[in-house]
């Protein structure tokens, strides 16, 4: 059985990955418990509490065949407050794993980057070759992690590849967390029979992708050797406005309240939508979960 190390395996992406893979492979989760608990994954899964920056993380890389590196400091706002903390996790943590991978016989190293690397898009849909001008330390640290992964592929032949997820959602995103995504926030309001709050005029667009489609694309990366040395957008290729999203959530939860408007959030980008032609072509990736179906999953 293949041995797979999933860093951040208790997190949003990591825990769904564990669900999808733990019967097919021998999974080890490395997680610092910063945002969740042991209960996020089944009891039979081997979970080690620790940090990707530690020496122990490097030892774990040596004991596995594959590394899926989802652990990260994930908040844009937190990165603005403390860029050093962000870089220690996202840059040094990633480099620590890569350096261990270089010295062992890793058959695949998968890195989860972010669409934040693009900054404010010049044109949409966004292809992978769009200029990368991050607007936050988080975007810069994710881009740096990506560049290291690609450099390790070119310079040392490490079989590494990366995805740049757009706006991921799932019922496991904690709505109480101020950094949670707009879908979780709108649903939390709808459940309480309260008005969703739209920042700005609601015409901003986002490409919302279900965590299940993210798990799918990661499984394709695992299977395809052609993926090595590449970075792929991970979105649906479709976007909707935040106003349309608010209406869809209210409809899904059968709640009849007016939306509330607040001033635009500073630093927010206006339009975002992925071009996923590259993932379609090289990986055969096809997103399967429509936004409506994804919202229904919260209702269940
Ligand atoms: C997403 C990612 C972020 C980074 C960024 C890159 C999430 C949670 N965050 O930020 O990590 O990758 O993309 O560009 O996926 N909004 C409301 N009302 C609310 C909450 C949000 O109107 O209660 C708006 C918000 O102003 C923004 C849009 O909804 O225009 C999406 O906000 P978000 O926080 O879900 O995600 P985003 O795109 O800022």
Whether 182 lines ligand 1, by a CB cut-off of 6 Å, is yes
Q: Which residue has the tokens 């959602």?
A: 169
Cα 87 to ligand 1 centre (Å):
21
- Closest residue to atom 29 of ligand 1, CA basis: 182
Ligand 1 pocket, residue 126 CB under 6 Å: no
Evaluate whether residue 281 is within a structural domain.
no
Instruction: For residues 126 and 62, state if they share a domain.
Output: yes
The CATH number for 183's domain is 3.90.25.10
Give the chain's mean pLDDT.
96
The answer on 129 and 49 residing in a single domain is yes
Ligand 1 touching residue 113 (CB < 6 A): no
Q: Are residues 220 and 95 in the same domain?
A: yes
Determine, yes or no, domain membership for 251: yes
Same domain for 250 and 104? Answer: no
Taking the alpha carbons at both ends of the chain, their separation in whole angstroms is: 34
Regarding whether 219 and 132 lie in a shared domain, the answer is yes
How many distinct structural domains can be found in the chain?
2
Kindly give the distance from the C-alpha atom of residue 155 to the centroid of ligand 1, in angstroms, as a whole number.
36
121 and 48 assigned to the same domain: yes
Cα atoms in the 13 Å half-sphere on the side-chain side of 19: 16
Range of the domain at 192: 169-207+238-274+289-299
In a domain, 62, yes or no: yes
Same domain, yes or no, for 81 and 228? yes
- Residue 181 Cβ inside 6 Å of ligand 1? The answer reads yes
Q: Which residues are catalytic?
A: 138
Asked whether residue 156 falls in the same domain as residue 179, the answer is no
Find the 181 Cα to ligand 1 centroid distance in Å: 5
And the tokens for 26? 């021998």
Residue 282 lies in a domain: no
Considering the domain architecture, whether residues 71 and 194 belong to the same structural domain is answered as: no
- For residue 174, being part of any structural domain is answered with yes
Residues 6 or more apart whose Cβ sits within 8 Å of residue 280: 286
Ligand 1 pocket test: pick from 78, 115, 199 the residue with the most ligand atoms within 8 Å of its Cβ: 199
Residue 160, pLDDT above cutoff 80: yes
In-domain check, residue 279:
no
For residue range 176-198, list pLDDT tens digits in order.
Answer: 776 789 999 999 999 999 999 99
Sheet strands (E) in 70-210: 108-112, 160-165, 167-169, 197-199, 205-206, 208-210
Does 230 sit in the ligand 1 pocket, CB within 6 Å?
Answer: no
What is the per-residue pLDDT for 122? 97
101: CA distance to ligand 1 center in Å?
Answer: 33
- The token pair at 91 is 């840059």
User: Is the Cβ atom of 198 under 6 angstroms away from ligand 1?
Assistant: yes
Q: Answer yes or no: is pLDDT of 35 > 90.
A: no
Tens-digit pLDDT profile for residues 240-290: 999 999 999 999 999 999 999 999 987 789 999 999 999 999 999 999 999
């Amino acid at each position: 059985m293949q041995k797979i190390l999933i860093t951040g395996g208790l997190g949003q992406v990591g825990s769904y990955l564990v669900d999808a893979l733990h019967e097919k492979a021998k999974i080890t989760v490395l997680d610092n418990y910063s945002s969740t608990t042991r209960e996020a994954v089944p009891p039979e899964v081997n979970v080690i509490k620790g940090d990707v920056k530690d020496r122990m993380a490097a030892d774990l890389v040596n004991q596995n065949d594959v590394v899926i590196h989802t652990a990260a400091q994930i908040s844009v706002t937190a990165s603005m407050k403390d860029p050093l903390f962000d870089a220690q996790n996202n840059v040094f943590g990633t480099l620590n794993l890569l350096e261990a991978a270089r010295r062992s016989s890793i058959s695949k190293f998968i890195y989860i980057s972010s669409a934040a690397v693009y900054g404010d898009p010049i044109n949409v849909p966004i292809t992978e070759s769009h200029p990368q001008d991050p607007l936050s330390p988080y975007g810069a640290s994710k881009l740096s992690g990506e560049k290291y992964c690609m450099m390790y592929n070119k310079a040392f032949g490490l079989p590494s590849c990366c995805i740049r997820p757009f706006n991921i959602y799932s019922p496991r995103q904690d709505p109480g967390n101020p950094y949670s995504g707009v879908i979780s926030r709108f649903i939390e309001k709808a459940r309480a029979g309260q008005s969703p709050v739209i920042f700005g005029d609601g015409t901003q667009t986002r490409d919302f992708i279900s965590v299940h489609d993210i798990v799918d694309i990661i499984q394709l990366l695992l299977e395809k050797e052609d993926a090595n040395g590449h970075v792929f957008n991970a979105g649906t290729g479709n976007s909707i406005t935040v106003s349309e999203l608010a209406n869809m959530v209210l409809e899904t939860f059968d709640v009849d309240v007016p939306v509330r408007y607040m001033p635009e959030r500073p630093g927010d980008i206006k339009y975002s939508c992925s071009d996923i032609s590259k993932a379609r072509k090289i990986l055969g990736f096809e997103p399967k979960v429509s936004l409506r179906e994804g919202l229904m999953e919260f209702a269940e």
